[in-house]
Chains A and B, each alone.
Chain A
Amino acid sequence: MLQDMQLENIVGEYKEAILNLYGSTPRKIYYTEIETPYPDGKLIVSTTDKAGIITHVNQSFVEMSGYREEELINAPHSILRHPDMPSVAFKDLWDTVNKGEKWQGIVKNLRKDGGYYWVKATVIPNIRNGQVVGYTSVRRKPSRTKVNECIQLYPTLF
Chain B
Amino acid sequence: MSYTFTVSPDFSPNYLAGWYIFNTWLQIQTGEAIHLELYDDFQAQRTAIQANQIDLIYANPFDAAMLVREKGFLPLVKAEGISDEAIIAVNANNPVEDVAQLPTGIRVAVTEDPDVHMIGMIMLEVGDLDASNIQTCFCNNHILIVKNLIQDKADVGIFLAKAFDDLSNLTKKQLKILVRSQISVIHHSLMIGPKLAERQTEIQALLLSMNNDDKGKNVLNSLGFNAWAKVEDEEMEFMIDLMDTLII
- A residues bordering B, Cβ < 8 Å? 40-43, 45, 47, 58, 102, 104, 120, 122-124, 126, 128, 136-138, 140-146
Of the candidates B126, B181, B183, the one having the most CB atoms from chain A within 10 angstroms of its own CB is B126
Distance to closest chain B CB from A10 (angstroms): 29
Residues of A within 8 A of B244 (CB): 102, 124
With contacts A104-B248, A142-B126, A143-B128 taken as known, whether A45 is within 8 angstroms of B179 at the C-beta atoms is: no
Over the window 173-194 of chain B, the binary record of Cβ atoms lying under 8 Å from chain A Cβ atoms (1 yes, 0 no) is 0000001111101000000000
With contacts A43-B183, A142-B126, A144-B100 taken as known, whether A136 is within 8 angstroms of B241 at the C-beta atoms is: yes
Query: Which size class do B's interface residues fall under?
Result: 20 to 34
Residues of B within 8 A of A123 (CB): 245
Distance to closest chain B CB from A129 (angstroms): 10
With contacts A58-B185, A124-B245, A145-B128 taken as known, whether A140 is within 8 angstroms of B122 at the C-beta atoms is: yes
Over the window 211-237 of chain B, the binary record of Cβ atoms lying under 8 Å from chain A Cβ atoms (1 yes, 0 no) is 000000000000000000000000001
Contact among A40, A42, A138, A142 with B245 in the assembled complex (CB-CB below 8 Å):
A138
Residues of A within 8 A of B128 (CB): 143, 145-146
Contact among B100, B127, B245 with A137 in the assembled complex (CB-CB below 8 Å):
B245
Contact among A41, A102, A120, A128 with B181 in the assembled complex (CB-CB below 8 Å):
A41
Of the candidates B181, B237, B245, B248, the one having the most CB atoms from chain A within 10 angstroms of its own CB is B245
Number of A-B contacts defined by CB within 8 Å: 58
In angstroms, Cα B180 to Cα A102, docked, is 27
Residues of B within 8 A of A141 (CB): 123, 125-126
With contacts A40-B179, A102-B248 taken as known, whether A45 is within 8 angstroms of B242 at the C-beta atoms is: yes
Contact among B99, B127, B245 with A122 in the assembled complex (CB-CB below 8 Å):
B245
Distance to closest chain A CB from B34 (angstroms): 30
| Contact (Cβ within 8 A) B242 A138 | yes
Q: Does B28 make an interface contact (CB < 8 A)?
A: no
In angstroms, Cα B99 to Cα A146, docked, is 15
Distance to closest chain B CB from A100 (angstroms): 12
Q: Does B246 make an interface contact (CB < 8 A)?
A: yes
Q: Does B138 make an interface contact (CB < 8 A)?
A: no
Closest Cβ neighbor of A40 among chain B residues? B179
Given contacts A102-B248, A145-B128, 10 further A-B contacts (CB under 8 A): A41-B181, A42-B181, A43-B242, A43-B246, A122-B248, A128-B237, A136-B238, A138-B242, A141-B126, A143-B126
Residues of A within 8 A of B183 (CB): 41-43
Residues of B within 8 A of A42 (CB): 181-183
Closest Cβ neighbor of A140 among chain B residues? B122
In angstroms, Cα B100 to Cα A140, docked, is 14
